[in-house]
Amino acid sequence: MNERRALGWLALGAVAAILWLARPFATGLFLGALMAFIVYPLYDRLARLTGRPTAVSVLTVLATATIIVGTVVEFGSLFLARAVVLANLARQQMHPGGALAAWVDAMTSWLARFGVSTESLMESLRGGAGDIASWSAGMASSLASRTLVTLLGLFFALLAMHAVLCHWPRIVAALVALSPLRHEYTRALLDEFRKVGRTTLAGTLVTGGAQGTLAAIGFWITGVPQPVFLGVATALASLVPAVGTLAVWVPAGLYLFAKGHLAPAVIELAWGAVVVVIFSDYVIRPRLVGHEAMPALLTFVALLGGFEGLGLPGLVVGPVIMGLAVAVLRLYAREQETRRAARS
């Protein structure tokens, strides 16, 4: 009995050591597993057709790496370059005689009653636009300096993706054997992890991409400058809780109002509200993540808590952890109900 207990403590120590060593790359490993869950149906079909699961897994991982790197490089460079151009353009338009200057004067004239100087407000806005341009240049330098760390995280994510694609049944069997829970409980939690992880990542990426694409179409139709850049900005803003895409298409509509284009401004605001928000959130997202969603309070806690603790990846990791926590509580509640029924 003592030997079995000692062996159990050693096993627990071994797990703790593995987790401690993997801690610097935990986010990459986690996201790699989620990516594997997304492409697993396609991988499984191709592996059955070809009879070469390892080769199919390697090709799938390489294709995923190419898509990720190409997308980040292309849209990252586009986003940073266009951010500088738009910031400089906004700063020029805020000078006396510019379209934005006239609009701001009209919108802020009533502030003079409270002792607020319009000139000082304009100066602050021009300084803010300059800060955006400087921030974009600094962000480009920061991204370049973090390239090695980012590539290392991507490398571990791809390794995790390959391991999950090739060995997921064996991983499940090993965890079931090592877990102190009942086998059916362990399998249920692993199934929940795969389901929640797949739907969360797919819902976040696909919905964000759809919102960015739909927003870009609206910007192009209404004549908003730099529609592609603003579409990318909308896709990125979709990750931000609460505010989301409103941070992009609402200012775009107000810009059209400031330029005197009343009809395009109304169309842009209506397009953003109906197509970018309502259609994406109530048609596209439910088809990806299903209709069994967590309560809104838990969703916001997961998003904001994950972002606070892990940064941008936390917007995906947080909801997955919250989903697993809810699944554990449901299993515990079910077990307690079973015990009460047995006693009575």
**pLDDT band of 242, cuts 50, 70, 90:** low
pLDDT at 89: 63
Token reading at 128: 């803010």
Considering 54-68, 113-127, 250-264, the range whose residues carry the highest mean pLDDT is 54-68
Distance from C-alpha of 325 to C-alpha of 290, rounded to nearest angstrom: 19
Token reading at 49: 């057709």
Distance from C-alpha of 148 to C-alpha of 237, rounded to nearest angstrom: 26
Distance from C-alpha of 83 to C-alpha of 247, rounded to nearest angstrom: 15
Helix pair angle (53-93, 118-145), 10° resolution: 150
Residue pLDDT, tens place only, 95-143: 555 555 555 555 555 555 555 555 555 555 555 545 544 545 554 555 5
Token reading at 67: 């898509």
Considering 14-28, 127-141, 302-316, 330-344, the range whose residues carry the highest mean pLDDT is 14-28
pLDDT at 288: 67
Distance from C-alpha of 136 to C-alpha of 138, rounded to nearest angstrom: 5
**pLDDT band of 162, cuts 50, 70, 90:** very high
Distance from C-alpha of 155 to C-alpha of 159, rounded to nearest angstrom: 6
Tell me, what amino acid is at 29? Answer: L
pLDDT at 59: 93
Residue 291 predicted with pLDDT over 60: no
Helix pair angle (118-145, 147-178), 10° resolution: 70
Rg of the chain in Å (alpha carbons)? 25
Tell me, what amino acid is at 68? Answer: I
Angle at 276 between CA 66 and CA 35, to 5 degrees: 30
Residue 273 predicted with pLDDT over 60: yes
**Average pLDDT value for residue range 203-229:** 86
Distance from C-alpha of 90 to C-alpha of 71, rounded to nearest angstrom: 27
**Average pLDDT value for residue range 196-206:** 80
**pLDDT band of 61, cuts 50, 70, 90:** very high
Q: Where are the domains of the chain?
A: 23-175, 179-344
**What is the rounded average pLDDT for all residues in the chain?**
77
Residue 294 predicted with pLDDT over 60: yes
Token reading at 267: 């169309």
